[in-house]
Structure formats: C-alpha cells, structure tokens
Chains A and B, each alone.
Chain A
C-alpha cells in the first residue's frame, strides 16, 4: 500500500476516534479514488466512511504508529522529533517485527500521548515468548531494583505520582508487595496500592 493511502487511512481513523466525521474535501481526490477502488472507504452524502476492510487496515497503521512512539521514547530514549520518526516507522514495520516490538514493550495499551493503542493478535494471546524487558511495577518481587520507563495513568493517578516525583527515569527498589506495595526512591519510602503499581512500567535491573 502507498504511504499516502496509509496516511489518509490513519487520519480518517483518528478523526473517527475523536467522534468527528470526515468530509470528502478533506482528502486529496486522487487518493480518495484509489481508496474507494480498493474497497477501503465508502462515500455517503459527502462523508467518507471506512469499510470493514479499511477499518482493519487503518487500525493496523495507527497501532504501528503508536507502538513506534512507545519504542522510540521508552527504549531508545529519543525525546525530540518522535512524531516524524514514528510516521516513517509505521510504513516499514512488518507483521513479525510488530509482534516482537509489542511483546518487548509488554503489550502496551496507551501511547505516550495517552491515546489507546489498538490491540494486535499478539496482545490478545498475551504472548510472552520474546523475553520481556518492560514490566509493570506490580509484577516485581521484593528486592527487585528497576528504572521507571513510562507511566500509563489517568489524570488523578498522574497527579499523585507526579507530585511524589515518581516519574520516568527514576530508579526504584521494591521493598514489599503485600499488603500493599512499598517502594524506595533515594531515601524515601512510599506505600502504593496495586492500582498505582499497575500504572508504573519499569525495566528491571539485573
């Protein structure tokens, strides 16, 4: 598939995600025609709607884009120009690489901007064949040391974690996991429940 078509699919899907309709005029004529011809979209009353096939394709592209964002920020530690990199990345990852990346990241559900990553078949199987690098804090055991890589949290949870300085890049030590989680950061100990421990994704120190 051509890049222009992939980009158009992604745009339509993301606008739909926000509950917005897509007008005919928002898409280049040539691209639109090609999309209709390959049964990716349907036109009705000036609005562009994804077909079942189109939806599937679009979902895959969005998924790749957001996985790429995760990979670039969490693992490779790239801070600037993530968006452009991800845009190029999404067109070159093949199915096998996609599953490997997804498993490596621990089947993340949300991109760094807080948007949902559409699940792939590997997530549904919850595969753990590729050795996992990213763990949730809630999966660690007492004595484990780790570095926080990313946090997936709602506004309330983020506020608490942020105000305590529990943010990516911080090194933690797990002291206890029952009856609640106790972690140590520098000389300070925090008790947190499973809900918060689930939000924190880390790389274990070996």
Chain B
C-alpha cells in the first residue's frame, strides 16, 4: 500500500504525516508536526458532505443544541444520527434536551444509522481517491499459517503449543528458577541482616514484628512482592505479550467461543481467564474488555473461585505427590469451574453474550512491542499491587496483636476437620488468603512431616485452589465489581471450596 500524503494534505487542509506505529516510524516527524501546528492556524477545507435528507436532519438537530462542547455541534448531531446514545448524556444540561431526544428518536425513521455511516464511507473513498494505491502482497508463509490458523485441526495444537510455551516460560523459568535465585538472595541479603539490626536496636516485640520477623512489611510484604510474585508475573507478562503480539489471542478466543457460550461467556473471555493463570488480580481488571456486565461478573466469579494464579500453580505442581494426584486435581477443579459457569449463566439475568472480534493477521512478534507491553503491565503491577502487599503485612500484624487471627483460625479449623484435614489446615487456609503460596507451602511441610496422607493432600490441594481469591485480587474485585457482588463471590467461593473438599474427601475414601 502506498500513500501520497501531499495530495491528502492539500485536500484536508492540514499537515499529514506518514507513520507506522508498530515500527515507530514517523513518530518523531509527527511530534514535530504537532509542535509546529500548535503555533499556526488552519482552515480545514474538507467537510463531509451528506445527501440532502441527512443534511436536513443534521441541521435540525444542530439548531437545537445551544451550549459549546469540545466537539462541534455538527459532529454531535452526526454521532446522534449514527445511534451513539452515549453522547446524549453529554447534552443532559441542554435546555432543549427533551426536544433533542425526541428529534433523534424520530429521525431514525427517516434516516437509518447505517445510511449515515455509508455516506461517511463514501466521503472517505472520495477523499482517498488517487491518494492510496494498493499493491498485491506476496502470499508468504505467514499468510498461509494465518489462513490455516482458522482451521480448528491446525489451530488447536497451535493454541496448546502456545500455552505450553507460556507455562515453560512463566511456570518453569519464572516460578521455579528465578524465584529460587531471587528469594534466596533476598532472604540472605535483606531479611537476615534486617532482623539482626532490629533485634539489637528495637526492644519492642510488636514493632520489630511490624517490620521484620516472619510477617513484617519488609520480610513478608516486600519479599513476597519483589522476590516471589515479581519474577513470576514478569516472565508471564513477557510470554503473554508475545502471544498477544503474534495475533494468537484473538484466534484462541475464536476457537473457544462455542465452548465458552455454554458457561455464559463469549470467546473474548479467554483473554482474562488465560491472564488469570498468571495473575488473577490483573485478570479482574482485564475483564473490562468483555461487552456485558453479566459476562464480567461470570468471568470475575470463575477467576475468584478456581482459576489458579501462577504462584498457586507453581506450588501445587510442587506438592502433588505424583502425576495421578495432579490429574485428579485438574479434573476436579475444571469440573467445578464448568459447573459454576453453567450455574451462573442460568441464574444471572440477561441475554447470552455476543462474540465479535477482529482477527489480525498472524505475525512475528516485535521485540520492541513485547518489551513495551511487558513494561507497561509491570508498571501497573508495581503501582497497584505492590502497595497491597505492604498493607497485607500490616493487616496480619493487626490480626495477630488483636488475636482476631486466632479466632479465625479456630473457626476455619472446624470445616477443615470436616473435610478430613488436620486442624493445622485452618491456619493454612487463612494465610492462604493473604499469601497464596504460604498456604501451599504450609501444606508441603505437613505432607513432609507425614501428618497428611495421599488423599488428604489431594483434598487440601483442591480446597485451597477453590478457596477465596487472594486479598489483592479481592480488593481489585471490590473496585471493579462493587462491594456487594465481591462479598457474595467471596462467600460463594468459601462454600464451593468446602463442599467440593467434602465430596472429594468422601469419594476418595470410597475409591481408595
């Protein structure tokens, strides 16, 4: 494709700069042009011309608008005719608001929104006539793979391969190798010296515990955020950005749409759910890409109930006694997720979701893009999630001083015993809410000590996965979905966790 920007610039009456955003071509020139443009005045010559019938409607609506907006009145009138009713909100303070509303609803009977859009397209085509020259592109290997990738027989293995890659990268390289190195370094170079200093200079036990000790702001909060989660989410974000930049994500969505419809979601939900296996907290934020509130609630619910985050996944794989146990765990958790989604889609009012997605061509991911995307996600993580970890340490500190924790642990020990776990599991569950890996690590100790049997470990794995989301995810849920919905989901996941745990315990007892 070739663009003659000189003709275009003349026709529009404003400067035109050629750019290729993904390759960062022309960005500097664009900045320069904007800088120059600020000091000059322009007289745009190009105006979109509509047919008589549409122009009549536009001028009628335009004449009813009295106030000034950042957009000109004609543009507002055109948007209204296009059926953009969000723009009506903007006009709420207008004296003629009710008249405008009426006029717009009547206008639909003589001018359909698509007719307006079609005329805009016709204008654009007129404008671009002779400006853009298309050339046949070569049908390279990527194009062939791109076409093939729409075929499920080809794309399913491709999707699995991409997921396997994500897990190798984040689950193995990040969660195991990097965490090991960084955490050891953190313990040795920060925790140990800090505790020594505290022991010498701070006589008060509780103040020492606030900063250091086992649950302090530095020794737990920062260590958790920097040494455990950061390497995992960094590697996950790199892998996810590669997937995103290659154009695989929309194809995975397209593949899964039919399946997802059964649990009240559209294929689009594959993106937050997949991201949830990295960091559930970020995934809740990403549910914004879903079209309807109903879909967003279902996705948030599934993320809270049973999509294990990368921290959890890593430890679960670590403590599973063998492959069989791991498969049982995967099977039960998937079953619960499907059942929860199916039930939610039946209970929640509203229509089934619509799936719509542009499929960009597959391409080789650009290193620059991947770095940029990863960095911007990490920036979000550092700003939004890190402070929560510091807060968690303070909460644990308060909980321990006030003995509230002892009460909660005692309370959780009751259902824990009911599903055949040792009483210590109560503590694991409570701390699991604050730091997901702690619960699992505690489990590991119990298993090592020989306190728990093979069956008990599976029950504990299932229950801990289905148990409440971590505190960071919960606070983001409250922000995105509101307190009421989040508390409901929270309570529901406790119920689901223990019920499933109970059933698993009894089933395993029967099967042996």
Contacts and interface: CB of A to CB of B under 8 A. Distances in A.
A164 B355 CA distance: 13
Interface stretch (A21-29, A38-46, A174-182): A174-182
A8 interface: no
Contacts of A112: 112
Given A79-B115, A169-B118, A180 B358 contact: no
B453 to A, nearest CB: 43
Contact of B152 (A155, A169, A178): A178
B115 A160 contact: no
A105 B109 CA distance: 21
B404 interface: no
A113 B354 contact: no
Given A151-B114, A165-B121, A191 B257 contact: yes
Nearest to B357: A191
A135 B114 CA distance: 20
Given A175-B150, A179-B258, A188 B118 contact: no
B117 A162 contact: yes
B255 interface: yes
Choose among B147, B255, B355 the residue with the greatest number of A CB atoms under 10 Å from its CB.
B355
A190 B359 contact: yes
A156 B353 CA distance: 10
User: Considering residues A80, A180, A182, A195, which has the most beta carbons from chain B within 10 angstroms of its beta carbon?
Assistant: A180
A145 to B, nearest CB: 16
Interface string A107-136: 000001110000000000000000000000
B493 interface: no
Nearest to B155: A179
A112 B112 CA distance: 8
B250 interface: yes
A3 interface: no
Given A113-B109, A179-B255, A195 B150 contact: no
Contact of B354 (A114, A156, A167, A168): A156
A160 B150 CA distance: 22
A195 B266 CA distance: 12
A112 B108 CA distance: 10
Contacts of A165: 117, 121
B113 interface: yes
B151 interface: yes
B167 interface: no
Nearest to A113: B109
Given A112-B112, A113-B109, A196 B355 contact: yes
A131 to B, nearest CB: 27
Interface residues of B, number: 36
Nearest to B121: A165
- Interface bracket on A: 20 to 34
Given A80-B53, A158-B83, A180-B267, A191 B115 contact: no
Interface string A181-192: 010000011111
Contacts of A80: 53
A182 B83 contact: no
A157 interface: yes
Interface in B338-368: 352, 354-359, 361
Interface in B84-115: 108-109, 112-115
Contacts of A176: 150-151
B254 A182 contact: yes
B277 interface: no
Contact of A191 (B108, B113, B359): B359
A191 B253 contact: yes
Interface in B453-507: none
A139 interface: no
Interface string A49-61: 0000000000000
B257 A180 contact: yes
Contacts of A160: 291, 354, 356
A180 B354 contact: no
A193 interface: yes
A162 B114 CA distance: 7
Nearest to A186: B134
Query: Most chain-B Cβ atoms within 10 A of its Cβ — which of A169, A175, A193?
Result: A193
B261 interface: yes
Given A151-B114, A157-B354, 19 more contacts: A80-B53, A113-B108, A113-B109, A114-B108, A158-B113, A160-B291, A164-B356, A168-B118, A169-B118, A175-B150, A176-B151, A179-B152, A179-B254, A180-B258, A182-B150, A189-B361, A190-B359, A193-B267, A193-B354
Interface of A: 79-80, 112-114, 151, 155-160, 162, 164-165, 167-169, 175-176, 178-180, 182, 188-193, 195-196
Can you list the 8 inter-chain pairs with the closest CB atoms, starting with the nearest? A193-B355, A167-B114, A191-B254, A189-B359, A179-B258, A180-B257, A191-B357, A160-B356
23 contacts: A113-B109, A114-B108, A157-B354, A162-B83, A162-B117, A164-B356, A164-B358, A169-B118, A175-B147, A175-B150, A180-B267, A180-B355, A182-B150, A182-B254, A190-B356, A190-B357, A191-B254, A191-B257, A191-B355, A192-B355, A193-B261, A193-B267, A193-B354
